[in-house]
Structure 1
Amino acid sequence: MTILIDRDQAISSPALVPGAGDLAREPGGTELTIGLINNMPDPALKATERQFMKLLQAAAGPRRIRFHCFSLPSVKRSPEARWHVESEYSELTELRRHRFDGLIVTGAEPIAPELDQEPYWRDLTELIDWAKVNTRSTIWSCLAAHAAVLHLDRIERRPLPAKCHGIFDCEAVTRDPLTRAAPAPLKVSHSRLNEIAESDLVEAGYQVLTRSAKAGVDTFVRQYASRFVFFQGHPEYDALSLQREYLRDIGRYLARERDNYPHLPVSYFDASTEEKLVRFEKQARHQRHPALSNELPALNLRADIAAGSAAAALFRNWLQYLGAGTDASVLAR
């Protein structure tokens, strides 16, 4: 599937493809070809498409973007999600038949004890090796970032004592074109059970760009023929993404599909909502049943989460890098 995007094209569904004749090319604009390798779990599959498409649209400026969707065929899917991928996505073999300026690769929900035991591991490592020399830059998001550094440098992720889940203030720790004009602090969504230690990254030659005092390393990079950009967080998440994950985990707890009740996302719900959710947790521990989800209180987010502001800056700078070609010095002027 190829979707042509410009900043004036409304995006209501990933399946709606505007005709090429409907897109006005602005003077001085460039065209970029970007692929999304969407390996997110089935419930987040379509939301991830929309999030990245809207980000690219908002960041595109005068550029026109040809946006192709792919998914690793070895990622296990429900019949409904598999039908969506087969009918709306391009075959992964098409990736190697075209020139891509940039790739965005997402993680998949883990099902094996170790990353290199996942059923999609071979497909993913082949993609990593291909992207090193066949793109100008590739973004590796969350679990995909952990998998990439494991394959590239045998850097092992470390399990966290509790899930890192919420909105975290991240600070730029070095000057880089990717974070130019970004808000300070960058408020970034994180949702993970593991982390990559900054000391391991620095020792292996990676450059850390942003970090959080509470969540650790946020964004880091490494230069090959392609510039690899790694996000431990999810800057693409919209305002309700963490809420959807939290409610999903509550549902799994009530259905006895997980043992532990999920922690509240950090700096996400307002104080009144947090109080209501604490009371609901106590009730859920005593009356553990799927029907109890119908008694969840109304949820209100904090007013200062600034969803999307960090992503807008990062992706605008990333597209500028792609548009400038491989000479990153153009961006540093």
Structure 2
Amino acid sequence: MTILIDRDQVVSSPALVPGEGDLVRDHAGADLTIGLINNMPDPALKATERQFMKLLQAAAGPHRIRFHCFSLPSVKRSPEAKWHVESEYSDLSDLERGKFDGLIVTGAEPIAPELDQEPYWQDLTNLIDWAKTNTRSTIWSCLAAHAAVLHLDGIERRRLPAKCHGIFDCDVVTRDGLTRAAPAPLKVSHSRLNEIAESDLVQAGYQVLTRSPQAGVDVFVRQYASRFVFFQGHPEYDALSLQREYLRDIGRYLARERETYPRLPVSYFDAATEEKLARFEKKAAHQRHPALANELPGLNLRADIGAGNAAAMLFRNWLRYLGADADASVAAR
């Protein structure tokens, strides 16, 4: 399925986007074809579609975007999520037959102890190899970034002592078109149990663009025939994404599906909410039962989380990079 994204068009989900004939035709830039390989776990599947479509729409400028959703067939899905993918997404075999300017590849929820033991590993590495020469640029997000550098250069991720989870201030450390006009600092959502060490990346020839004193490397790049852009964070997350993950992990703790109570996301909830959640944690340790989730307090976020500003800037610059050759072709006609 091809979804046409125009900057003036309301986008809510693939199923609700109007057909080509319903879109505004007055645009100066060339069309860009973008693929999203959405491997996120089932509860985040549709939210991830919306987040990336809204980002692309906000960043599109004069370009109209032909947007295709895919998912690796080897990613485990519930019947409901599998039906959604089969009915709303393009078949992965269509990717190689198309001409894509850019690709966005998300991670998946880990199942195996090692990345190269995941059931989707072969499909993912085939995609990495294909993208090197068949896109102008590809974004690898979070776990997909870790998998890509492992496949490309044998760089192993390292387990963190505690989950990196929250909004982190990131600094631009290398001038690059991708970070042009970046706010200082960039506030970016991170949610991961592992990290790639900056020293390993630099030694292998990657260029680090942004980093956080707390969260480490944020954005890094490497040039092949395609420009590969790697996010250790989640710039696409909306304001409530980290809250949903935190509440999910509390639910898993109460149901005894995980042994440890989740830590608060960093720089995310306001001070009053953090105090209420600390009291709830103490209660959960003594009354560990799924029904206790009904007593969770109301949650309020900090007023200054501001993660969306960094995402809008990064994607605007990425589309500008993708559109440079396309605009030149349009102007030459």
TM-score range, shorter chain: over 0.9
Structure 1 residues without counterparts, runs of 5 or longer: 328-333
Partner of 2:76: 76
Matched, 1:189 2:192: no
CA positional deviation for 1:215: 0.1
- Confirm or deny: 8 A CA contact 1:132 1:226 kept in the other structure: yes
Deviation readout 1:76-130 (Å, 9 max, x if unpaired): 0111111111111111000001100000000000000100000000000000000
SS at match of 1:15: helix
CA distance in 2, matches of 1:270, 1:240: 13
Corresponding residue for residue 141 of structure 1: 141
Give deviations 1:5-55, integer Å, cap 9, x for gaps. 011110122212322122223352110000000000000000000000000
Residue pair 1:72, 1:92 contacting (<8 A) in 2 also: yes
Look up the equivalent residue of 1:273 and give its one-letter code. Answer: T
Q: Is the contact between residue 188 and residue 234 of structure 2 (CA under 8 Å) also seen in structure 1?
A: yes
- For residues 60 and 208 of structure 2, the distance between their equivalents in structure 1, rounded to whole angstroms, comes to 26
Which residue in the other structure is 2:13 paired with? 13
Structure 2 stretches lacking a partner, 5+ long: 328-333
Deviation at 1:326, TM superposition (A): 9.1
| Structure-2 separation of matches of 1:189 and 1:325 | 31
CA contact (8 A) 2:186 2:307 kept: no
Moved more, 7-16 or 43-52: 7-16
1:163 and 1:192 in contact (8 A); partners too: yes
1:156 and 2:142 are equivalent in the alignment:
no
Q: Within 5 Å, give how 1:163-312 maps onto structure 2.
A: 163-312=163-312
Residue 14 of structure 2 aligns to a residue whose secondary structure is coil
What CA distance in whole angstroms lies between the structure 2 residues aligned with 1:71 and 1:21? 27
SS in 2 for 1:125: helix
Asked if the contact 1:136/1:326 (under 8 Å) is kept, the reply is: no
Q: CA deviation at 1:226?
A: 0.1
Aligned to 1:331: none
* Cα distance in 2 for residues equivalent to 1:292 and 1:307: 31
Contact kept, 8 Å, 1:25 with 1:62, in 2: the verdict is no
- In 2, distance between residues paired with 1:25 and 1:131? 30
Q: 1:221 to 1:326 in 2, by over 3 A?
A: farther
Q: Distance in 2 between matches of 1:289 and 1:323?
A: 53
Partner of 2:63: 63
Separation in structure 1 between the aligned mates of residue 149 and residue 262 of structure 2, nearest angstrom: 28
Offset at 1:2?
1.4
Residues 152-192 of structure 1 show CA distances to partners (whole Å, capped at 9, x for unaligned) of 00000000000000000000001000000111100000000
- Note if contact 1:169-1:187 (Cα within 8 Å) is conserved in structure 2: yes
1:136–1:325 Cα contact (<8 Å) kept? no
Q: Summarize deviations over 1:236-265 as a string: whole Å, max 9, x none.
A: 000000000000000000000000000000
Query: Do 1:141 and 1:232's aligned partners in 2 also have CA atoms closer than 8 Å?
Result: yes
CA distance in 1, matches of 2:69, 2:194: 27
How many residue pairs were aligned?
A: 327
User: Which residue of structure 2 lines up, in the alignment, with residue 90 of structure 1?
Assistant: 90
Q: Take 1:294 and 1:307, find their aligned partners in 2: how far apart are those partners?
A: 29
Larger deviation, residues 1-10 vs 228-237: 1-10
Other structure's SS at 2:17 match: coil
Amino acid paired to 2:11: I
Hey, what's the Cα distance between the residues in 1 that align with 2:269 and 2:206?
34
Match status 1:132 vs 2:116: no
Alpha-carbon distance in structure 1 between the residues aligned to 2:22 and 2:76? 37
CA distance in 2, matches of 1:206, 1:223: 8
Instruction: Specify the SS of the correspondent of 1:219.
Output: strand
Answer whether contact 1:3 1:17 (CA < 8 A) is retained: yes
Retained in 2: the 8 A contact 1:26–1:63? no
Deviates more, 1:198-207 or 1:10-19: 10-19
Counterparts of 1:2 and 1:39, CA distance in 2: 18
What secondary structure does 1:119 align onto? coil
Aligned partner of 1:157: which letter? R
Cross-structure match for 2:330: none
Counterpart-to-counterpart distance in 2, 1:203 and 1:257: 39
Report the TM-score when normalising by structure 2: 0.97
Is the 8 Å Cα contact of residues 2 and 17 (structure 1) preserved in structure 2?
no
